[in-house]
């Protein structure tokens, strides 16, 4: 019965999210707000006579009951701030969602550690490989990967977690039953089987310009830290980074080429010290896990069953040279008859793919 009142409060029009939260601070539950008279409502800070009359004039649960029935028919759950399954970190953010729609096998809880990964929709191959590999390695260690199921970096992060057999959460910027972009229908179904899809928007709500920035506060708010993989100078991913900083969450950024527009934003985050530079999943674990040592230890690693990434002819040549004992960039460039910049780029990609690792400036086979 309580969820009906949450739906009722959420759906009151012409009443801002700030005012709804002020009412909840005073009355402690939406049912108490529903039962209050106009005079009691007017005691609340910033509530005007027009607001009070609007609330009193909307005391009808028919719409909420009808919505709840439709959700049950579609197998969609509702999670509210007073229920198990509503992550407590979200309760501490500005304008926390009054209702979270939930679809999938995984039930969110406060025992798990969440890391969000976002970035450019027009991601480069470097960005996609980086996002997938970092997500894979984190998920393999029991970290739940959160993203927005968009093209590019978001999709790569979800896929990396799924390939690791881990859990992933997709936070939508549209209705819980709306697949956007439509081409991610298969990914949506996979996430529901191995994680969950959540949204603060109900049935049939289409994506809009304002829904994605609002969605981003949930992505960052849910997570202990947010990783920006690729972001242009003016990118929605940078909004998520800004929100994460405002929410006192950790922010990480994967460096990119200085000539790639898709890395202008991430490089600026690192340059301005707003984000910690990330070249490996270990950089994230080192920052996040100490805060959780009493609550959770790393899960044992599962066997890596992935096939070795496909290497280009030049990458294979570099790989074979390292196998033979060439470990310095200049040495590799000389033997491979390539520029040091080209070799450096290849080494970075192979390191991200987990094929090699760097130690004291030298490279070795993983």
The series of mean pLDDT values per 10 residues for the chain, 366 residues long, is 88 91 92 93 91 91 93 93 90 92 94 94 89 94 95 95 96 96 94 96 92 94 95 88 92 90 91 89 86 45 57 87 84 90 86 77 77
Residue 49's φ and ψ, nearest 5 degrees, are -60, -40
Q: Can you give the pLDDT at residue 143?
A: 94
Q: Which pair of tokens denotes residue 294?
A: 């009493």
Alpha helices of the chain — where are they, by DSSP H?
2-10, 17-27, 30-35, 38-41, 49-56, 62-74, 125-140, 153-163, 185-194, 211-222, 236-246, 264-271, 281-288, 313-323, 329-336, 340-352
**Cα three-residue angle 357-253-227, rounded to 5 degrees:** 100
Q: How many alpha carbons lie under 13 Å from residue 199 in its C-beta half-sphere?
A: 24
pLDDT of residue 298: 44
Quote the CA–CA distance of 177 and 66 in Å, as a whole number.
16
Report how far residue 326's alpha carbon sits from residue 286's, in angstroms, rounded to the nearest whole number.
Answer: 30
The ranges assigned to domains in the chain are 2-67, 114-292, 313-365
Superfamily of domain 2-67: 5' to 3' exonuclease, C-terminal subdomain (1.10.150.20)
**Top-level class of domain 114-292:** alpha beta
pLDDT at 94: 87
Looking at residue 159, the DSSP 8-state letter turns out to be: H
The pTM is what? 0.79
CATH topology of domain 313-365: Arc Repressor Mutant, subunit A (1.10.10)
**Burial readout 283-312 (b: 16 or more C-beta within 10 A, e: otherwise):** bbbebbbeeeeeeeeeeeeeeeeeeeeebe
DSSP letter at 184?
G
Q: What is the pLDDT of residue 346?
A: 87
SS3 225: strand
Query: DSSP string covering 234-292, please?
Result: S-HHHHHHHHHHHTT-EEEE----TT-GGGHHHHHHHHTTSSEE-SSHHHHHHHHGGGG
DSSP-derived letter for residue 201 is B
C-alpha span between 24 and 309 (Å, rounded): 52
Residues contacting residue 294 through CB under 8 Å, at least 6 positions apart: none
Q: What is the CA radius of gyration of the chain?
A: 23
């Amino acid at each position: 019965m309580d969820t009906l009142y949450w739906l009722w409060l959420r759906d009151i029009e012409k009443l801002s999210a700030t005012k709804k939260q002020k009412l909840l601070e005073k009355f402690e539950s939406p049912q108490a707000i529903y039962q209050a008279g106009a005079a009691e409502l007017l005691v609340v800070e910033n509530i005007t006579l027009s607001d009070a009359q609007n609330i009193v004039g909307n005391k009808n649960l028919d719409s909420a009951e009808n919505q709840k029935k439709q959700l049950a028919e579609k197998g969609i759950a509702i999670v509210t701030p007073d229920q198990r399954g509503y992550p407590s970190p979200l309760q501490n953010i500005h304008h926390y969602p009054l209702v979270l729609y939930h679809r999938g096998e995984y039930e969110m809880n406060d025992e798990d550690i969440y890391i969000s990964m976002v970035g450019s929709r027009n991601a480069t191959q470097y960005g996609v490989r980086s996002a997938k590999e970092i997500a894979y390695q984190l998920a393999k260690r029991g970290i739940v990967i959160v993203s927005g199921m968009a093209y590019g970096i978001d999709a790569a992060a979800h896929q990396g977690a799924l390939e690791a057999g881990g859990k992933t959460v997709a936070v939508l910027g549209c209705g819980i039953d709306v697949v956007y972009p439509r081409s991610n229908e298969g990914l949506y179904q996979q996430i529901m089987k191995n994680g969950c899809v959540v949204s603060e928007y109900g049935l049939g709500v289409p994506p809009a310009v304002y829904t994605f920035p609002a969605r981003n506060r949930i992505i960052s708010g849910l997570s202990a830290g947010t990783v920006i993989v690729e972001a242009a100078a003016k990118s929605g991913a940078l909004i998520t980074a800004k929100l994460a900083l405002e929410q006192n969450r950790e922010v990480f950024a994967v460096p990119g080429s200085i000539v790639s527009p898709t890395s202008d934003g991430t490089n600026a985050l690192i340059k301005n010290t707003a984000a910690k530079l990330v070249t490996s999943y270990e950089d994230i674990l080192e920052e996040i896990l100490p805060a959780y040592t009493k609550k959770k230890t790393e899960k044992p690693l599962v066997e890596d069953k992935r096939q070795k990434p496909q290497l280009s002819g030049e990458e294979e040549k570099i790989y074979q040279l390292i196998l033979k004992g060439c470990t310095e960039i200049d040495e590799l460039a000389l033997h491979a008859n390539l520029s040091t910049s080209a070799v450096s780029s290849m080494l970075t990609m192979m390191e991200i793919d987990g094929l090699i690792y760097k130690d004291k400036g030298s490279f070795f086979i993983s």
